[in-house]
Every structure is written in structure tokens, then in C-alpha cells.
Amino acid sequence: MSGFVGKTSSNQSLTIPRSGFWPSIDIDDFRKKMRVLDSVENEQAEMALMSALDSTIYELASFEENHSEYDHLEDVPSKEIAGRSRYVYNFERAVYAEAKAQLLEEFFDIDLTRKAGEDRAATGIPKVAELRKESYAAIQTFFNESAIFVELV
């Protein structure tokens, strides 16, 4: 008898419930969109997503305050992207990018884009910076600002 026997995933489907104004987050959706392997347990992914939610919601506090007449982010009038609210899309984008950046800081081997023989530690740090930049850019869309900030000294 020969063959390869892999470890089956013990991760169950999990949703982080809505935080008042802000939408819920589906961990399976996060895993698919951000290419997070099953070797990262749900508890680890949930912790990274909760931390990312906290920082993103903090950054968007003034947006929520300016739109306090709406119960949920989905209710705030916005342009749509593929049938979804631009705000919901960018909120998810910001949270997912920040959560993956946090996971990459802990687990350099979760990124599937690595080429064979590439040093995971050396390629992980630039990827973290790119993900944080992506999160920042998504947050800036809420304020109709450019993601580029330049200060003349």
C-alpha cells in the first residue's frame, strides 16, 4: 500500500458577527480571498481578523460618526462594485489585508504565492508592507482621499 495521506482540516465554518454598524466577517471567505491555508487554525485566523476589525473600525470612527443616521454600513448610499456597496467591499478589503499581514508576521509559510526555493522570511516582510498599504488604501476610499500622502519639509 502506498500513497499520500494528508491532514484533513478540522476548521469549521465560522462568522464573526456584526459589530453594530459594521458588517460581519466570514472566515471561510477570508481564507479563500486571501489564500490562507487550513494549517492556520480558525482560532488564529479569528484572532487576526478581530485585531484587524478593531484597528479598521478605529480608523473609520469618524466615518461612522458622520453617517450615524444609518444603522448599518450597507445602508449608507454609495456606488456599487459588482452589485455590492463600495463601502462594504472596501471595509472587507481593509480588514482582510490587515488580518493577513498579521498572520504573515506570525507564519511566513501561509502565503501560497511563494516560488520553490524562495526564502520565506526574506519575502514575507515586503508582503506584510504591501498588505498594510492595501489596507490603508481601502480605508482612504471612505474619505474620498488618495492613498498617497506626501509632505514637503
The rounded distance, in Å, linking the Cα atoms of 1 and 3 is 7
Cell representation of residue 28 = 471561510
Return contacts of 92-95, CB within 8 angstroms, 24+ apart. 92/23, 92/25, 93/134, 93/135, 93/138, 94/52, 94/56, 94/59, 94/134, 94/135, 94/136, 94/138, 94/139, 95/25, 95/49, 95/52, 95/53, 95/56, 95/135
The model's confidence at residue 153, banded by pLDDT at 50, 70 and 90, is: low
| CB-CB contact of 133 with 93 (8 Å) | no
pLDDT of the residue at 5 = 47
Most confident of 17-21, 22-26, 117-121: 22-26
Mean pLDDT in residue range 5-10: 53
* Separation of alpha carbons 27 and 46, rounded Å: 7
Question: Do 80 and 127 meet the contact criterion of CB atoms below 8 Å apart?
Answer: no
22: helix, strand or coil? strand
**Nearest Cα to Cα of residue 46 among 91, 16, 17:** 16
Find the mean pLDDT for residues 80-85: 94
pLDDT, tens digit, for every residue of 97-151? 999 999 998 876 544 555 665 555 555 567 999 999 999 999 999 998 765 655 5
Percentage, residues of the chain above pLDDT 90: 66
How is residue 92 written as a grid cell?
A: 472587507
Strand, helix or coil at 149?
coil
* pLDDT confidence of residue 34: 95
